[in-house]
Amino acid sequence: MLIAGISTSSGQFALLLGENNRVIYDSSEFEKENNKALYYLLQDALIACNKKVSDINHITVDTGPGGTSRVRTGIAFANSLAYSLNIPVSPVSTMELAGIDAHSRYGFPVVNSVKSIKGNAYIGLYRGDGEEVKIEYGKVEEIVPQLVANIDRLVVVGAHRELITELPALARKTVIDSRMQYGNARIFIEKSKLFTGRGLIFPQFVTPITEQTMINH
């Protein structure tokens, strides 16, 4: 099965192709090409792998949270491509991606944070073992202590690592700074079995995680 993975919420778009949990193309390895629009990233990937767009069987896309316009663009592209090929598209939040990545390295629950507006943030908790990420929205100093109240050891990822490690409310806990800003998009392919089961077929489609969706949650 040929899987296309689309990363939207890190610094720039990345597009990956993979088969049998193995990455066969990763656009982030080509810095200049990675500044292209997703259509051209996909075109480059298919040419490099001697594949056709009709060979793609499944799409996995990062739903954010992240830069709103970039996330929306990536999701719109993924939904459109899935519709045109009549194949499933699976949503994966950046919180889950980073959580899987950091948990595999440290073995502890992972707290991830992404900046938002008006001093707010998206804060996610990934406990491991494929468990769904719990995402909250608000002030880091208010939400994080509540999320990890029953956790003694944790790893932090994202934009507020230093702030979280210095929170007085966590003084009695072991808090490890992963020094990671984002998760590794290669997980889309290497851990694809975690995501393919949630594939959506039109008229279902992927939607982005935004301030509004969190406030209304």
Question: Interhelix angle for 38-48 vs 68-85, to 10°?
Answer: 50
Strand ordering across the sheet containing 153-158: 134-138, 121-126, 110-115, 153-158, 174-177
Pick the CATH number of 2-93+183-210 from 3.30.420.40, 3.30.10.20, 3.10.20.30, 1.10.10.10: 3.30.420.40
Largest CA distance in the chain: 55
Q: Topology of 94-177 in CATH? A: Nucleotidyltransferase; domain 5 (3.30.420)
| Least confident span in 7-11, 40-44, 189-193 | 7-11
> In a 3-state reduction of DSSP, which class is residue 125?
strand
Residue 161 confidence (pLDDT) above 90: yes
Where residue 214 falls among pLDDT bands split at 50, 70, 90? low
DSSP designation for 66: S
Distances (CA, A) of 2 to 21, 24, 187, 202: 10, 10, 15, 19
Question: Which residues face 123 on adjacent strands?
Answer: 113, 136
Q: Work out the average pLDDT over 189-205.
A: 95
Query: How much is the pLDDT for 75?
Result: 96
Q: What is the pLDDT of residue 34?
A: 55
Give the start-to-end residue ranges of the domains of the chain: 2-93+183-210, 94-177
Segment 19-38, tens digit of pLDDT: 999 999 999 888 655 567 89
pLDDT digits (tens, 9 = 90+) for 51-80: 999 999 999 999 999 777 889 999 999 999
Q: What is the pLDDT of residues 92-122, one digit of tens each?
A: 999 999 999 999 999 999 999 999 988 999 9
CB contact at 8 A, 125 and 134? yes
Q: Considering the entire predicted model, what is its pTM?
A: 0.91
Q: Residue 136 corresponds to which amino acid? A: E
Same fold, 2-93+183-210 and 94-177: yes
* pLDDT, tens digit (0-9, with 9 covering 90-100), for 41-54: 999 999 999 999 99
